[in-house]
Chains A and B, each alone.
Chain A
Amino acid sequence: METVLIAFILMTLSGILLGCIIGAAAKFFFVKSDPRIEDVNEMLPGANCGGCGKAGCSDLARAIVAGECVPGSCPVCSLAVVGRIAAYLGVDAGSSVKKAAVVFCGGSNSKARKSVNYNGINDCISASLIAGGPKDCRFGCMGLASCARVCPFNAIEVIDGLACVHSDICTGCGKCIESCPRKLIRLVPETAPFHVYCNSPEKGVEKKKNCDVACIACRKCLKAAGEDQMKIEGFLAQVNYDNMPGADVIEKAACPTSCISSPENHFPGTLKKENAAR
């Protein structure tokens, strides 16, 4: 009984003592910080995706309050949230076009030739070191899901050996861009009506050997689109995202290889959670 009592008293005393020390320390070493940073941080999405180029959401909040960045720097926030932050701080919201990542390749397993079997690390960068990658096309998607694994929002899914971005989930943070050894992923305005799903600068004949849906630079789409709305670079048609063509171009151009497609048609169906990145 005596021992229990001693232990009890000792613990209580030391608890009170330590509590006092902590309380005193909090008073003496108090660092004054701007409470607005905490409030802005609350409003930001908190995904810490790094899409803004800062170390995370709280770092961006600090930068916004300090005036280094405009609230629109966050690529993930909706316009309403950006407006709320701007109103709270009384600053200009800054313009931000909602962008989404697009994988510029249509070469799924059923469309692109894959003459040999790859056996090795399940990672695109590593696979590209072995005989130039598993598929015959050296410029297309390898389908090993490196981008899907880095996506913080599970917006990328690999279907039939081809990475597809769910533009409704994609926040345009841009993390996937670095992970692709083929540089297939670019951020483009989400409102673009269609994309040219090909990345190969090779000649049409060469590309056609490797893939059914390659752009063969036939220029049909250029004729269908308005002036300066599309361009051709090295046997590869591209949408000019600063001056976007209308959705009717898909119909009018009647792309012979179906390389041109709207995001919805390119990737039918909804996100299957189990197929998305682990």
Chain B
Amino acid sequence: MTEEKVNLEENDTTTQSGVFLPKIEELVVSSSPHVHDNQTVRKIMLTVLLALVPSCLCGIYFYGINALMVIIYCVVFSVAVEVLWCRIAGKKTDTWKDCSAILTGVLLAMNLSAGIPWWVCLIGAGIGIGIGKQIYGGLGYNPFNPALVARVALLVAFPKLMTTWVPSRFMTENPVYDKIITYAPSAEQLKGKVIPFLSNTCDSITCATPLGVVKELSKSGVHNVSAFDAVSNTPMYWDYFFGNMGGCLGETSVLALLAGGIFLIAMKIIKWHIPVTYIATVAIFSAAIHAANPAITPGPLFHVITGGLFLGAFFMATDMVTSPITKKGMIIFGIGCGIITSLIRIWGNYPEGVSFSILLMNAVVPLIDKFTVTVPFGYKAAEKKVGA
């Protein structure tokens, strides 16, 4: 016993037989259970961040150093706003350590174009953390996904900036995309070449997103299948799948997002219900419209792998705080998101509807939760008995 002494000395808790008894003053009383599986909010957030790493790397690979800068700006500003807000509000200032602000920052960055200036990141972080989260009382109380609140606010406030997209570094090499890339006179020489990783050509070379092209075609009244073919053909689909297109820096690579999403489902951080129903609903909806009249919109595959659907389905709609808590609720939520996204994409004014649809569905989550309260174990049997 002497070898294993840790903090015991001879004192009144020693019995006559020389064994040590617990010291009462070191005991803690609390409610059961007295053990825990050691999962923490911080670990959950870090796991989600880990799942976002492939998409971040893809973004940096395709859009160059600017993408990395946007991510860093967003994360730093988000954490700064969180700490500042908590300090001014007189709350504990260590809430950023749960990593939720970092996650919001990364998600916000993934929703921005790689060419966005730093001050837009700052405003976005301020809106996301401040108005999206802290104003409601912080993590756990926010009804809307903070990153999406920021994105939508920025989209409304700076429509031009937020819809100016940077092409992937490799798109300029491929003449197929010449029609949708615009070169400023100073950048003409890069045509047909890969944009260097470190170069800053965001202002001089811009492009349209596939969804943007389709929306322009629809708006201008060009309703024919061959016009859509310019952006929806098989070799292009492969580019979309890997992320070699214009768009937000985190949303383009379906492959990376899928890897991260499957990782999250495997780690039991999120459930499959929201992403699968969301993506399936978009696919079915667009397939139905496409089948009815191919001139209205391209096929389901186009809708599924372009735009921010995968980012939204796996990382934004599954945000724990702002999505339903039961599986039934999640399915309703996913279907709702899918329908609203498709409606906005096909008939709305905006080319992309993922952010709006998720925010709209966030608003009805309390209602969904109210109507999807689970039936307790053995409850049905009791009802039957009363009836019989």
Contact = CB atoms under 8 A, between A and B. Distances in A.
B31 A116 contact: no
A106 interface: no
B25 A130 contact: no
A265 interface: no
Interface string B30-74: 110000000000000000000000000000000000000000000
Contact of B31 (A117, A130, A134): A130
Interface residues of B, number: 7
Interface string B8-35: 0000000000000000110111110000
**Which of B27, B28, B29, B30 has the largest count of A CB atoms less than 10 A from its CB?**
B29
Contacts of B24: 115-116
B30 A119 contact: yes
A116 to B, nearest CB: 5
Contacts of B27: 115-117
Interface string A105-147: 0000000000111111000000001110010000000000000
Contacts of A116: 24-25, 27-29
B31 A120 contact: yes
Contacts of B29: 116-119, 130-131, 134
Contacts of A118: 28-30
Contacts of A115: 24-25, 27
Contacts of B31: 120, 129-130
Which applies to chain A's interface (DSSP): helix, strand, loop or mixed?
Answer: loop
A173 B30 CA distance: 33
A17 B88 CA distance: 48
Contacts of A134: 29
A120 B33 CA distance: 12
**Which of B24, B25, B27, B31 has the largest count of A CB atoms less than 10 A from its CB?**
B31
Which applies to chain B's interface (DSSP): helix, strand, loop or mixed?
Answer: mixed
Interface string A51-85: 00000000000000000000000000000000000
Contacts of A130: 29-31
Nearest to B30: A119
Indicate the size class of the contact surface on chain A. 10 to 19
A119 B25 contact: no
Contacts of B30: 118-120, 130
Interface in B280-329: none
A134 B24 CA distance: 13
Nearest to A133: B29
**Which of A116, A118, A129, A130 has the largest count of B CB atoms less than 10 A from its CB?**
A116
A54 to B, nearest CB: 32
A157 B345 CA distance: 58
Interface string B234-250: 00000000000000000
Contacts of A129: 31
A116 B29 CA distance: 7
Nearest to A126: B31
B329 to A, nearest CB: 27
A8 B27 CA distance: 75
Nearest to B25: A115
Nearest to A119: B30
A119 B36 CA distance: 14
A78 B28 CA distance: 47
Interface string B106-146: 00000000000000000000000000000000000000000
Interface in A90-114: none
B164 to A, nearest CB: 30
B293 to A, nearest CB: 32
Contacts of A120: 30-31
B35 to A, nearest CB: 14
A101 to B, nearest CB: 28
A138 to B, nearest CB: 13
Nearest to A117: B28
A67 to B, nearest CB: 44
Nearest to A121: B31
A131 B29 CA distance: 7
B32 to A, nearest CB: 9
Nearest to A132: B29
A120 B31 CA distance: 7
A124 to B, nearest CB: 15
A127 to B, nearest CB: 9
Nearest to A129: B31
Contacts of B28: 116-119
A9 B31 CA distance: 68
A117 B29 CA distance: 6
A120 B29 CA distance: 8
Contacts of A119: 28-30
A142 to B, nearest CB: 12
Contacts of A131: 29
A240 B27 CA distance: 41
A110 B24 CA distance: 18
A115 B31 CA distance: 17
25 contacts: A115-B24, A115-B25, A115-B27, A116-B24, A116-B25, A116-B27, A116-B28, A116-B29, A117-B27, A117-B28, A117-B29, A118-B28, A118-B29, A118-B30, A119-B28, A119-B29, A119-B30, A120-B30, A120-B31, A129-B31, A130-B29, A130-B30, A130-B31, A131-B29, A134-B29
Interface of A: 115-120, 129-131, 134
Interface of B: 24-25, 27-31
Top 6 A-B pairs, shortest CB-CB distance: A119-B30, A131-B29, A116-B27, A117-B28, A115-B24, A120-B30
